[in-house]
A and B are shown apart, each in its own frame.
Chain A
Amino acid sequence: MITSRQKEFLSEILEGKPIPEDKLVYFRERLRDRLHSAILAAFQQRAKTGFKQSDLAERIHKKRAQITRWFSTTSNLTLDSISDLMVGLGMDFDEFPFTPIEKTLAPKDRQVKGRKAA
């Protein structure tokens, strides 16, 4: 359920108006968070088979300390480092689905049903 504060936060986006810079900042951070979480989840999956940060570092020609820095916080991630980490972990995008933001406002169960129906 989307709250009134969240609706207000999204107002310019939904109304097609210019989006204030501070909101763009929030969404940049959010995207970094999402990619960071996906990379950490992939690493944790690989780690179950004995794959270590040092193995990943070696695969992508980085020092282990650099991998630790990238894993510890989102702030140092760039498109290049995200790509290197993904490839090093053997990950790729199956597809690249951008969803219109309006469709994400519905409760999750409805979103899933809608996707299945499509």
Chain B
Amino acid sequence: MLIEEDEIKRLCDQGRLFRVEPLAWRETQERAIYVSRDIYRFLTQPSADPAANGDRRKLHRLFDRFISGQEISAAFKRNIKGSNIKRLSPPNAEVWEFKVKARPQLRVFGRFAAKDLFLAITGPVDRANCDFQAEKIRCQYEWSKLLPEHSPIHGSTIDDYISAKGISL
């Protein structure tokens, strides 16, 4: 069943999802990202640790890049390092990761609710200590709690997930 806008709004009203507001004031909003409470806290609450503050800005910038409709590189069919986002294996699980290439290399996991609409629901976690299999299951579980009657979209090309400027690697 397709996810209705009202459904997302309801989850936002309940404080279970939060829309990411871009920090980039000059960029248009071509796509949307909603995040879990934990990710929202990470993005918006300053940390006493300066390095963690830098990391949260890097993640926010990656989200802003997605939202503003800029080029997003995606490891879609091949296992290529160095992309902005990646669809994890197996493809039919439809779990994607957003990747911050820094130290630590942060990962957030989520699913496409619709074309150009991403729900980031678990993370951020440090790639070095990440159990990807467990994260994938956790992401699917959290999704089922949020949207029990809905499936993420499933596509065969990057254009099924991102309109324009999706670069499949």
B126 to chain A, nearest CB (A): 16
Residue B138 CB within 8 A of the other chain: no
A99 to chain B, nearest CB (A): 10
Give the residue name and chain of the A residue nearest to B56 (CB): A22
Point out the residues of chain A lying under 8 angstroms from B57, CB to CB. Answer: 22-23, 25-26, 29
Within 8 A of B (CB), among A68-118: 68-69, 71-73, 75-76, 104-105, 108
Question: A104 contacts B25, CB within 8 Å?
Answer: yes
Q: How many residues of A contact B (CB 8 A)?
A: 28
Question: B25 contacts A68, CB within 8 Å?
Answer: no
Question: B61 contacts A73, CB within 8 Å?
Answer: no
**B interface secondary structure, majority:** loop
Question: A72 contacts B26, CB within 8 Å?
Answer: no
Question: A36 contacts B83, CB within 8 Å?
Answer: no
Residue B11 CB within 8 A of the other chain: no
Give the residue name and chain of the B residue nearest to A26 (CB): B57
Which of B24, B57, B58 is most buried by chain A, counting CB atoms within 10 A of its CB? B57
What CA separation (Å) do A71 and B82 show in the bound complex? 9
Residue B71 CB within 8 A of the other chain: yes
Instruction: Please list the residues of chain B having a beta carbon within 8 angstroms of any beta carbon in chain A.
Output: 21-26, 46, 50, 53-54, 56-58, 60-62, 64-65, 70-71, 73, 80, 82-84, 101-102, 167, 169
Other A-B contacts than A22-B50, A71-B167, A108-B26, 18 sampled, CB-CB below 8 A, are: A3-B25, A5-B23, A6-B22, A6-B25, A9-B23, A21-B50, A22-B54, A25-B54, A25-B57, A29-B61, A30-B61, A33-B61, A72-B83, A72-B167, A73-B83, A73-B101, A75-B101, A104-B25
